[in-house]
């Protein structure tokens, strides 16, 4: 399946925000998107339910990308979650709704709902998960092909990225 114009445009838009100097790493791109939106995006690792690689949590004044603790290909997952955000997939509102209705939504429950969401259709009838995957693949490919003077480093140590 070829990458949709929508996804290509979103990847271009994110790369346009990349810092003009120094290395362009994925966490730096996330920070650039965050600055552009005027809404903080926090990165954190967490013990997520088995089978869940990452999670985008939307709070009223900020977003959090949670990455499964110890995940080897975390950059791919981070790019995937960023894809959901920039592509406007707001499917996790269901999560927010659940949190309002229950004192504490357990991680297991969140995992269950995320699994339910897998394969869901986006607003335009496009499979949101597929779109986020396409976005992640293209972004990481393009990051790896930036000119040398931008010294792109996709693989930053997890500890450096998440502080
Ligand atoms: Zn997803």
Q: What one-character-per-residue DSSP string does 41-57 give?
A: EEEEEE-PPTT--EEEE
pTM to 2 decimal places:
0.73
Distance 123 CA to ligand 1 centre (A): 15
Cα(149) to ligand 1 centroid in Å equals 32
Q: How far apart are the first and last CA of the chain?
A: 37
The DSSP string of 75-117 is HHHHHHHHHHHHTT--TTHHHHHHHHHSSS--HHHHHHHHHHH
Stretch among 26-30, 108-112, 130-134 having the lowest mean pLDDT: 108-112
pLDDT digits (tens, 9 = 90+) for 120-136: 444 444 578 888 999 99
Helix (H) / strand (E) containing 29: helix 26-37
């Amino acid at each position: 399946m070829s990458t949709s114009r929508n996804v290509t445009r979103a990847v271009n838009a994110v790369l346009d925000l990349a810092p003009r100097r120094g290395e362009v790493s994925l966490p730096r791109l996330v920070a650039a998107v965050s600055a552009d939106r005027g809404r903080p995006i926090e990165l954190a690792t967490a013990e997520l339910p088995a089978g869940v690689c990452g999670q985008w949590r939307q709070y009223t004044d900020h977003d959090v990308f949670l990455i499964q603790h110890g995940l080897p290909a975390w950059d791919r997952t981070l790019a995937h979650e960023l894809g959901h955000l920039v592509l406007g997939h707001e499917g996790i509102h269901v999560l927010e709704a659940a949190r309002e209705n229950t004192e504490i939504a357990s991680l297991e429950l969140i995992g269950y709902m995320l699994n339910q969401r897998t394969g869901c259709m986006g607003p335009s009838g496009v499979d949101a998960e597929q779109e986020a995957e396409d976005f992640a693949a293209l972004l990481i490919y393009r990051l790896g092909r930036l000119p040398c003077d931008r010294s792109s480093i996709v693989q930053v140590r997890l500890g450096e990225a998440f502080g």
